[in-house]
Amino acid sequence: MSERATALPPLLLIEDDPRIGPMTVAMLANDYAVELAIDAATGFRLATGRDFAAIVLDRRLPDGDGLDLVRTLRADGRGVPIILLTALGSLDDRVGGLDAGADDYLVKPFAAPELLARLRAITREHSDRDAAIMIGDWEFRPTTRIINSPYSGRIVLSRTEAELLHLLARHPDQTLSRERILRSVFSPGDAVGTVDTYVHHLRKKTDRDIVTTVRGQGYRVGNP
C-alpha cells in the first residue's frame, strides 16, 4: 500500500456484485483507502477488527441481508457511519434500513458525486457527535457507547448505560438526584430503583467506581 493510501481515511465496502464492487472502489479511491468484502461474514470480521471512517453496505449479500449485519454491528456497540447502497428502493425498504441503524440509504444506480457527498455528511455528523469525554484517565465516546480504559481496554456499554454515564459526565461538578436521572434517562413509570440497578451495571462492567454515590443526594461521575 502506498504512503498516500495509508493517509486516506479507511472505508469498508461490502458488495458482492463483481462489476459494481470494483467500480465503487475506483470511484472512492481518491478520497478513501477502501477495503472490499464480498459477503456479510467477511464484512463483519473486518468491521469488528479495525476502526473505519464509514461502511458502505449492499442489502443483498450471498450469505444474508445487509440489514441483519447493520443490526449486529449496532448491537455490538459499533457506531461507525453506515450507508446502505442497494437496488431495493421502495419507501418501506428505505425506512427499514434507517430503522435498522443505517445512517443513510442510497438507491442504485447512483452517481459518484452523490455518494461522496453523503459520505462527507455522515462522517462529519458522526465526528461532531462522538467527541470524546475524559473521565479521569478514561475516554468515553457517547455515540458509539465505548469506554477506552487504561485498566480494562475497550468496554462497550448498553444504550441505557451510556445515556446514564453521559448525563453524569455532562455535569462533572454536580451530584444528580435519582429522580433527576430517572426523568432524563428512563421511561415514565420506571421505579427509582432502576437507577441504582444501572449504576451497579456500570460499576460491574468497568470494575471501577466510575459513578460515585453521594449519600442522601444521588450520584456523580467518579474518578476511576
Indicate the pLDDT class of residue 127, thresholds 50, 70 and 90.
Answer: low
Domain 133-221: state its class: mainly alpha
What's the pLDDT at 159?
80
Instruction: Tell me whether the CATH fold assigned to 3-129 matches the one assigned to 133-221.
Output: no
CATH, range 3-129: 3.40.50.2300
Q: SS3 string of 152-207?
A: CEEEECCHHHHHHHHHHHCCCCCCECHHHHHHHHCCCCCCCHHHHHHHHHHHHHHC
Instruction: Choose among 161, 185, 178: nearest CA to 214.
Output: 178
Q: What is the pLDDT of residue 5?
A: 45
> Per-residue pLDDT averaged across 122-126, rounded?
80
pTM: 0.60
Confidence at 88, pLDDT banded by 50, 70, 90: confident
Of 128-132, 135-139, 144-148, the poorest mean pLDDT is in: 128-132
- Summarised one tens digit per residue, pLDDT across range 157-216 is 888 898 899 999 988 889 999 999 999 888 888 899 999 999 999 998 887 788 999 999
What residue type is assigned to position 138 of the chain? W
Instruction: Output the CA–CA distances (angstroms, integers) from residue 171 to 88, 130, 184, in the order listed.
Output: 44, 17, 13
Number of neighbours of residue 78 by Cβ within 10 angstroms: 21
The pLDDT assigned to 219 comes to 95
Per-residue pLDDT reduced to its tens digit, 22-42 = 999 999 999 999 999 999 999
Q: Please enumerate in sequence order all residues whose Cβ is within 8 A of that of 141, keeping only pairs 6 or more positions apart, or say none.
A: 79, 130, 131, 132, 133, 147, 148
Evaluate whether 20 touches 34 at the Cβ level (below 8 Å).
no
Domain-wise residue ranges, the chain: 3-129, 133-221
Residue 28 CA to residue 13 CA, distance in Å, equals 10
**Looking at residues 131-152, what average pLDDT do you find?**
84
Distance CA 41, CA 63 (A): 7
Cell reading at 68: 441483519
Q: What is the dihedral of CA 14, 19, 22, 26, to 10 degrees?
A: -120
